Structure formats: structure tokens, C-alpha cells
């Protein structure tokens, strides 16, 4: 995936018969979505596919997206569970990016443990944001992406430094 794409949310399911998508937004993305006119949908093992955003409206349960070329419920159903991405330059419009809205694929490092893995996913749980970091062995590390645990984000070098809460890494490594 291109490292200039940022996660805006996930497709929950199709909505109605005309091909609209119900999208749950990632934290901080609702304000950014208003400025995007092109989004990308990405499913596992696929390259992101661009779509022109025709309409977006907020509901109590996320957003409804109408996309150019998405003409019916069956076609929309194929995108269930897809990540919704946008080019960073299209949505940030010169503003400082949120530390929680990141390009996926960044290397994640902890001061004492060193390289942990790659940021593969991010989502909101209602209680906060969770990052999925996948290590070299393919094991997933779930990280609470709170500002107090994020030491530095180096977007230019695709590198994130974290200071995980005590005991978190031991859960995944078995050390302790």
C-alpha cells in the first residue's frame, strides 16, 4: 500500500439498494472526510482501488457514502469490511495530522524492545483507538494508541516510536 494513504474508516455493510456504503470512521477522520473527493477501498490481499466520492452524509451510526461506479447493493456487498483510505494530501489540507490518523505500513519501535513490527490496522473501540502491529513472525500486538503512549511519529521515515504501558509487551512475548 502506498505510504501516503491514511485510514479513514471501514466499510461496515451496504446500505439500501442503490450501492451506498455504511462506513464507520476512524478517530479524527470525520472532519477530514468532508474535504476528500476521492477515496480508496482496500480489502486484504488487494491493492487499494480509487473511487470518486459523490456524496457523504453523517448518520447516528457512522457515514453513508455514495461512490461513482457503485451502482447496486450486490456490488456494494463485495466491499464489506474494506478499509476506507484517502491520500494524506487530499484530506489534511495543510493542517497538522492527528497522531492517531496514520499511514499504515509504518515500522513501530519501543525504546527498550526495539523493532516491534509494522502498523497494519487501526480502529476505534468506543473506549479508544487500537493499533494492530504485526511482528516479523506474523503475530499481532494490540496497542492502545493513546497520545501518552506515543513518543514520536516520523512520517517522513515511516517510523513510530512508542512507550507502551507496563506489562503490555510481555503479554505478547511471554517474557516477564
What digits encode the pLDDT tens for the residues 73-92? 999 999 999 998 888 776 65
Domain with CATH 2.30.30.240 in the chain: 107-173
What digits encode the pLDDT tens for the residues 8-66? 888 989 998 889 998 887 655 554 555 567 889 999 888 999 999 888 877 766 788 89
CATH code of the region 107-173: 2.30.30.240
Q: Does domain 5-92 have CATH number 2.40.30.60?
A: yes
- Asked if residues 17 and 72 have their Cβ atoms less than 8 Å apart, the reply is yes
Domain with CATH 2.40.30.60 in the chain: 5-92
Indicate the helix (H) or strand (E) that contains 30.
helix 29-33
Q: How far is CA 142 from the centre of its chain?
A: 14
Residue 149 in 3-state DSSP? helix
Is the CA virtual torsion 97, 102, 105, 106 positive or negative? positive
Amino acid at each position: 500500500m502506498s505510504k501516503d494513504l491514511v485510514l479513514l474508516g471501514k466499510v461496515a455493510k451496504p446500505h439500501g439498494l442503490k450501492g451506498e456504503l455504511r462506513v464507520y470512521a476512524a478517530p479524527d477522520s470525520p472532519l477530514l472526510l468532508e474535504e476528500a473527493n476521492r477515496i480508496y477501498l482496500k480489502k486484504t490481499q488487494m491493492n487499494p482501488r480509487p473511487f470518486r466520492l459523490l456524496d457523504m452524509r453523517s448518520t447516528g451510526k457512522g457515514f453513508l457514502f455514495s461512490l461513482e461506479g457503485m451502482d447496486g447493493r450486490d456490488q456494494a456487498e463485495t466491499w464489506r469490511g474494506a478499509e476506507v483510505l484517502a491520500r494524506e494530501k487530499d484530506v489534511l489540507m495543510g493542517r497538522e495530522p492527528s497522531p492517531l490518523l496514520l499511514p499504515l505500513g509504518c515500522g513501530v519501535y519501543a525504546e527498550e524492545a526495539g523493532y516491534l513490527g509494522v502498523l497494519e490496522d487501526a480502529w476505534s473501540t468506543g473506549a479508544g483507538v487500537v493499533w494492530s502491529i504485526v511482528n516479523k513472525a506474523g503475530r499481532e500486538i494490540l496497542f492502545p494508541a493513546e497520545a501518552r503512549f506515543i513518543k514520536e511519529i516520523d512520517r517522513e521515515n515511516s517510523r513510530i516510536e512508542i512507550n507502551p504501558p507496563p506489562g503490555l509487551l510481555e503479554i505478547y512475548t511471554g517474557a516477564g
